[in-house]
A and B are shown apart, each in its own frame.
Chain A
Amino acid sequence: MVGELTWQKRLVGLWLPLSGFLVVALFPFTWMAATSLKTNAELYDPKASPLSIHHPSLVHYIDLLKETNFLVWIGNTMLVAAIATGISLLLGAMLAYPLARMRFRGGALLAVAVAVTYLIPQTLLFVPMADLIGKMHLGNTLTAVMLTYPTLLVPFIAWLLMGYFKTVPKELEEQAMIDGASRWRAMTRIILPLCLPGFLSAGIFAFTLSQNEFLYALLFLTKSSVRTVPIGVVGELIRGDAFYWGQLMAGALLGSIPVALIYSFFVKYYVAGLTAGAVKG
């Protein structure tokens, strides 16, 4: 009797709502996959059941890879995300380390100023930014977005890393310096290695944010060969008012897979980064 009651409790309190959340989270991906694997005849047959596939076909994937620069876009996206993340980690760490661990005039004010940059609308920046990119002759180059993405990432990374840097006791650094190490050496050899999980969290977070960026890529990358996946899909797979849903869904799915794969390897660090601000703050 008691066992039965717990079983029912588990069903109502756990399994039913949990499957509800899972279905809502995942059905768009199922729908992407189902659409991308159907032939057009089956796709636009109003009598066919929407989620089942009778004649699976890779025709949309083949067309996507043959007719568009999709693989180039994937390569561009990865390259841009990796370099923008690298630059941002370096600059973010340089910003966060003194703010978290050193005492100097204006430090507190600077920390607030970095946080306040979150409140600047990107739509206010894009016209001047386009001007700046034009003056530097970087239009339609990947360098344009590699340089502009860090403006969105550095403040965020700095805040995340500050949390990690603060957790390392100051005595560790003082001890190293008593033993003859310079401040620089104490930082690079002792403090930073201890904060490796923080770098991984910030890095994977920045990487997914870079893959997601849209506005600057939309403005600065207008040539097909330099586009990233989001811009390529919106700019070239939607042709006028005609939607090629099979190909679009193939592109959306293929474009999501690299991010999802990388994320799945680092999910622990991603979640740590996601929740660091909320739980510690």
Chain B
Amino acid sequence: MSKILEAGRAGALEAAPARRPFRLAAFFDRESTFSWLMLTPPLLFLLAFLGYPFIYGVYLSFFQKEVARAPVFVGFGNFVKLYNDPIFWQAVRNTIIFTGVATIFKASGGLGMALVMNQSFKMKAFTRAALLLPFIVPTVLSTVAWQWILDPGMGLFNRLLMVTHLAERGPSWLGTPTMAMISIIMVNTWRGLPFFGISILAGLQTIPVDLHESATIDGAGTWGRFRYVTLPALMPVILIVTVFSIVITFFDFQLVYVLTGGGPANSTHLMATYAYSLSMGAGQMGLGSAVALSMVPVLGLLLVALTFFVRKD
């Protein structure tokens, strides 16, 4: 019995004199052997289906690669081309605006949702499930519904504007560059807000009640308690959810692909949809990969900007 225990401890075998025989069972029970045996299959899988495509994708971004042709090495040629491409810079700008503005809306709206939900009322579990629905339903399906809501002629929004006589003719929600950007940010906010709401609610429920009580005794009002007790306690949760949401929003592809296809006139392309349209639409896979690779430093900059913003606060 004690032999197994000793052998189980990683260093025990080496430390013991040589008289102890090598035992296979004990070998497999070593933490390092056991770990690497467990890790090998998933790591091999990730190397084959994530590592290899990643390296090949980086490689492609230094080549001129067109459909059914052998790649030709162009060095930084693709990146130079992108540097001089106004649509690329438009896509970079759009991605930053889309990610930044939508995240701010989602975070503030989600905080509001959490504060409202953090009261006791009947059917709370049911309400929470209903509020999360936009986040559950496949993005493409809800986005198609939004496309119909935003339809300039017969869509819900413009019909409601007409019925209530708020406007003679509603705006062309997806037809002008500015309105189309506003629309994609709106739809992304609709979908992602519950994620913030429900996560922050979970954070709220971990704040001890006596913190609020002692703040009240010290004379803090509702606002004071929110500003000096609730908000600081929530900051770690908000921060993690924000980072997570920035990454997801930054890589968003399907919403824009379905809602505007990057149009009108390339004005709503995100870097992801532009990379796709270069690779698949124009058949320039090297250039498309270069756009995709450029996403990494831009995302890095956004996350660094967030850190500075938080530090200043």
Given A105-B32, A123-B272, 16 additional A-B pairs, CB 8 A:
A14-B121, A28-B134, A94-B38, A94-B39, A123-B295, A124-B54, A127-B60, A177-B5, A178-B5, A182-B28, A233-B141, A243-B151, A252-B145, A255-B141, A274-B195, A278-B202
Tell me the count of chain A residues lying within 8 A, CB to CB, of chain B: 96
- Contact: B288 with A119, CB < 8 Å? no
Bound form: Cα–Cα A60–B244 in Å: 39
Q: List 14 A-B contacts (CB under 8 A).
A: A18-B117, A25-B131, A26-B130, A50-B163, A95-B39, A125-B50, A127-B289, A128-B52, A128-B56, A128-B57, A182-B25, A183-B28, A256-B142, A267-B129
A95-B39, A128-B57 are contacts. A25–B49 as well, Cβ < 8 Å? no
Task: Tell me the smallest distance from the CB of A49 to a CB of chain B, in Å.
Answer: 7
A22-B293 Cα distance, complex, nearest whole Å: 39
Given A22-B131, A125-B53, CB of A259 within 8 Å of CB of B4: no
Is B62 among interface residues, defined by CB-CB distance under 8 A?
no
Complex Cα gap A243–B146 (Å):
13
Question: B-contacting residues of A (Cβ < 8 Å)?
Answer: 13-14, 17-18, 21-22, 24-29, 31-32, 35, 43-44, 46, 49-51, 91-92, 94-95, 97-99, 102-105, 107, 110, 117-129, 131-132, 147-148, 150-151, 154-155, 158, 174, 177-178, 180, 182-184, 208, 211-212, 214-215, 219, 229-231, 233-234, 238, 243, 245, 248-249, 251-252, 255-256, 259-260, 263-264, 267, 270-271, 274-275, 277-279, 281
From A44, A92, A117, contact of B154 by CB (8 A): A44
How many B residues touch A, CB cutoff 8 Å? Answer: 100
Whether B138 contacts A230 by the Cβ 8 Å rule is yes
B10 touches A278 (CB 8 A): no
Question: Interface 1/0s, chain B 248-261, versus A by CB < 8 A?
Answer: 00010110011000
Residues of chain B with a CB closer than 8 A to A32's CB: 145
- Complex formed: what's the CA distance from A27 to B25 in Å? 61
Contact indicator B131/A256 (Cβ below 8 Å): no
- Of all chain B residues, the one with the shortest Cβ separation from A32 is B145
Task: Tell me the nearest residue of chain A to B36, going by C-beta.
Answer: A104
- Among B50, B132, B300, the one with the most A-chain Cβ atoms within 10 Å of its Cβ is B50
Most buried by A among B127, B144, B151, B291: B144
Q: Shortest beta-carbon distance, A245 to chain B, in Å?
A: 5
Set of chain A residues within 8 Å of B148, measured between Cβ atoms: 31, 35, 243, 245, 248-249
In the complex, are the beta carbons of A127 and B34 less than 8 A apart?
no
Is B112 an interface position by the 8 A CB rule?
yes
Residue of A nearest to B41 (CB): A94
Q: Which residues of B contact A270 (CB under 8 A)?
A: 132, 136
Q: Which 5 A-B pairs give the minimum distances between C-beta atoms?
A: A98-B35, A124-B292, A275-B202, A128-B53, A230-B140
CA of A121 to CA of B151, assembled, Å: 31
Chain A hits for B140, CB < 8 A: 212, 214, 230-231, 233-234
Q: How far is the CA of A14 from the CA of B124 in the complex (A)?
A: 12
Q: Which B33-65 residues sit within 8 Å CB-CB of chain A?
A: 34-36, 38-39, 41-43, 45-46, 49-50, 52-54, 56-58, 60-61
Q: Are B141 and A275 in contact (CB under 8 A)?
A: no
Cβ of B276 to closest chain A Cβ, rounded Å = 6
Contacts of B42 in A (CB 8 A): 91-92, 94-95, 154, 158
**Of A28, A129, A229, A264, which contacts B145 at CB under 8 A?**
A28
> Is the beta-carbon distance between B198 and A271 smaller than 8 angstroms?
yes
State the Cβ distance, A268 to closest chain B Cβ, in Å: 8
B32: A residues at CB distance < 8 A? 102, 104-105
Contacts of A127 in B (CB 8 A): 56-57, 60, 279, 285, 288-289
Interface centre among B113, B116, B163, B275 (most CB of A within 10 A): B116
Residue of B nearest to A98 (CB): B35
Which residues of the other chain, B, contact A248 by a CB distance below 8 angstroms? 144, 148
Q: Please determine whether A233 and B144 come into contact, CB atoms closer than 8 angstroms.
A: yes
**Does the CB pair A26–B127 fall under 8 Å?**
no
B203 touches A278 (CB 8 A): yes
Residues A121 and B138 in contact in the complex (CB < 8 Å), given A28-B145, A44-B154, A49-B163 = no
Task: Give the residue name and chain of the A residue nearest to B137 (CB).
Answer: A256
Shortest beta-carbon distance from A232 to chain B in Å: 10
Across the two chains, which residue of chain B brings its CB closest to A177? B8
State which of B1, B128, B136 has its C-beta within 8 Å of the C-beta of A208. Answer: B136
> Do the beta carbons of B54 and A177 come within 8 Å of each other?
no
A150-B45, A260-B133, A278-B199 are contacts. A234–B279 as well, Cβ < 8 Å? no
Whether B35 pairs with A212 at a CB distance below 8 angstroms is no
Asked if B202 and A279 make an inter-chain contact with CB atoms under 8 angstroms apart, the answer reads yes
B159 close to A (CB within 8 Å): yes
**What's the nearest-Cβ distance from chain A to residue B248, in Å?**
9
| Residues of A with C-beta under 8 A to B299 | 119
